[in-house]
Every structure is written in C-alpha cells, then in structure tokens.
Amino acid sequence: MAVAGDLDLDLMTLTAAWQAAIPDVEAQCRRSATAAFASVWRDSRPAEASLVLTDDAHIRQLNRDYRQRDEPTNVLAFAALEGGHLLTGGDMLGPVVLGDVVVAYETLLAEAARDVKLPADHLCHLVVHGILHLLGYDHQKGEDAATMEALEVRVLATLGVPDPYAADSDV
C-alpha cells in the first residue's frame, strides 16, 4: 500500500472577524482539513486545496452564481472533478487539485449558537465536511449521507470534537 501524499492547503481569511471569534482559527482549519484528507486519501501523490473563510454576503453571492440559490449557506465545496476523476496540476507526478471550500462566518456563528456548539467545533465540522466533498463524498442520498456522516464523526473524534449529529444539524 502506498503512503498517502500530503495536503497543501491554501488558506485565505477574507473576513477579519474570524480571528477574534475563534482562537488559532487557521491552525484549527489546517488540522481539520489534514485529518479529513488523511482519513481517505490513498494516493501517493500530494494534493492541494483551498479554504476560504469569508462572510455571508460573499458566500451568498457564490451560492447564487454557482448553485442558483440566492441565500447564504454555511459551507460550499467546489470539487475539481472532471468526469469523476481528480485533476492533476499539469502531469501525473504533480499534485492532485482537489478544489475549493468556502465557509461563512455569520452562518457558522448562528448555527453554533442555535445548536449550543462551540464555534470552533462547528468550524472543524464544516471544514471536514467540505474536504470530504472535494474527495468525492456526498449526502444527497440516504446511504451516501450515512457513509459521509459516519466518516465525519470518526474524523472529528480524532480532533476531540463531539459528534455533530448527536443533535440534528444543518450540514
């Protein structure tokens, strides 16, 4: 069995409020993304993804432009899939391009408050959820949702984050 490659995460914080709301927000994001990636990646090549921490106005625009839903959402994932296959960065030896994950600040805080969760824990969940989408996991069908949720719970446990599905959630 090949040793799994590394994840190169390009992290952009577009909304300054993230830093004040969640201590070490970037470190938590990197840890969560890496844990999700390592849980399923079996390719020896490295991979790259981007993670954008933004606000509701920005994610609403993305949701409207790319999903035809004119409302904010907690997380969006834009997988770099072509015909069901991951793209490589130029050649078969280059990094595998996974795609982009975008998380909305205000929606994350509102959901965390509503569900009585720590914002940092909810952020970890949304990052894990988004990275798993980039890796081909989905929750549109019951069986797929159960598989994805079980994987999320397992990854989050390694990060010390309680099961987000113990109480119903909006992911």
* 8 Å CB contact between 127 and 119: no
* C-alpha 119, offset from chain centre: 15
HSE toward the beta carbon, residue 41, CA cutoff 13 A: 27
133 is in an annotated binding site: yes
85 is in an annotated binding site: no
Reading phi first (left if > 0) and then psi (alpha if -120 to 50, else beta), residue 62 is in alpha
Q: How far is CA 166 from CA 16, 42, 127, 149, in A?
A: 31, 29, 18, 11
139 is in an annotated binding site: yes
Please state the residue numbers annotated as binding site for Zn(2+).
Answer: 129, 133, 139
Please state the residue numbers annotated as binding site.
Answer: 129, 133, 139
